[in-house]
């Protein structure tokens, strides 16, 4: 890539969609483990930890259970990540005086936060559907029975039972997670790339450097996001009427588990963060490179 900011809306959208699909395909099993640990009843936990959750899930439901709920994020990831990278590019463009201007860390973080808010429009319902399917288990001693046969079934049921409001349950919690996390995510990726790029030219970065920058950006993202993600997962996976909203979940969580409750599922989250986001940005960079080599401009 050149030294210029990546400001093309079309390119950022397409490349972001490719990167999003790479992230979902590589990281979903970790996400399933994370959601199950975050949403289990801590007074009578079904799992002792991530490894126990993995073993019980595979033993009781098979390996395919690790991919439960993947349909929603896989279908949603292209538009979600397209919006995310588009929002980041737009956020940078609004702060850029000329194409060669290099934005500082604060400006990159602002652009990232803008991106997180924009992507929530699609992210919130996708996360709601995903969480419901991920905590749904079969007859293996679980507390929640099988009710839905896939993401479309969940979406139709939620709309029939509670309308659009039910589908968007947890939007505030999703915003609380994604706005600061996206600021850390996009800003850290660009800053790490700048540090690694020979002579400031990101086009000379190796595949290994891109994987490292993307993986570390994922770690930065989730170190910021984990507490809000725990609250979001519990709210979105809970049966109707259990919680009145985000603050109710947070209050109950702190009352029962203290501050450590906000970091439930941190191990699978951080284990997933590096490979999933390394793959995400590698897919993004390859797509951007391919579009830059086209004989016409997008």
Q: What is the pLDDT along the chain (298 residues), one digit of tens a residue?
A: 444 455 577 888 899 889 989 999 888 898 899 889 888 887 888 898 889 999 999 999 999 899 888 887 788 788 888 888 899 989 998 998 887 788 999 999 999 999 999 989 888 998 899 888 888 764 444 444 568 888 889 999 999 999 999 999 999 999 999 999 999 999 999 999 999 986 767 777 889 999 999 999 999 999 999 999 999 999 998 888 899 999 999 999 999 989 999 998 888 889 889 999 999 999 998 998 888 888 777 6
Domain 9-292 - what CATH class? mainly alpha
How far is residue 181's CA from residue 202's CA, in Å, rounded to a whole number?
23
Q: Three-state SS for 128?
A: helix
CA neighbor of 9 nearest in space, from 101, 118, 102: 118
> What's the pTM value of the predicted model, to 2 decimals?
0.78
Pair 178, 115: CB distance under 8 Å:
no
Answer positive or negative: Cα dihedral of 142, 144, 145, 147.
negative
Please, which residues have CB within 8 angstroms of residue 259's CB and are 6 or more apart in sequence?
A: none
């Amino acid at each position: 890539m050149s030294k210029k900011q990546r400001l093309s809306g079309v390119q950022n959208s397409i490349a972001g969609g490719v990167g999003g699909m790479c992230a979902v395909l590589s990281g979903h099993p970790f996400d399933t483990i994370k959601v199950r640990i975050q949403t289990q009843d801590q007074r009578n936990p079904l799992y002792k930890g991530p490894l126990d959750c993995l073993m019980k899930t595979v033993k009781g439901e098979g390996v395919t259970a690790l991919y439960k709920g993947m349909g929603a994020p896989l279908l949603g990831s292209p538009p979600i990540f397209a919006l995310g990278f588009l929002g980041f590019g737009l956020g940078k463009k609004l702060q850029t005086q000329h194409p060669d201007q290099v934005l500082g860390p604060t400006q990159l973080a602002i652009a990232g936060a803008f991106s997180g808010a924009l992507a929530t429009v699609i992210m919130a319902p996708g996360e709601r559907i995903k969480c419901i399917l991920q905590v749904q288990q079969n007859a293996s001693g679980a507390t929640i029975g099988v009710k839905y046969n896939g993401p479309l079934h969940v979406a139709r049921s939620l709309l029939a039972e509670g309308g659009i409001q039910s589908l968007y349950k947890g939007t505030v919690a999703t915003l609380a997670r994604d706005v600061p996390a996206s600021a850390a995510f996009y800003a850290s990726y660009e800053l790490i790339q700048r540090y690694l790029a020979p002579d400031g030219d990101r086009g000379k970065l190796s595949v290994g450097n891109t994987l490292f920058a993307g993986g570390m950006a994922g770690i930065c993202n989730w170190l910021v996001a984990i507490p809000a993600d725990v609250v979001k997962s519990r709210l979105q996976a809970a049966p109707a009427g259990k919680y009145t909203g985000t603050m109710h979940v947070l209050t109950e969580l702190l009352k029962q588990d203290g501050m450590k409750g906000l970091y439930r599922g941190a191990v699978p989250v951080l284990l997933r963060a590096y490979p999933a986001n390394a793959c995400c940005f590698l897919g993004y960079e390859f797509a951007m490179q391919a579009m830059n080599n086209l004989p016409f401009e997008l």
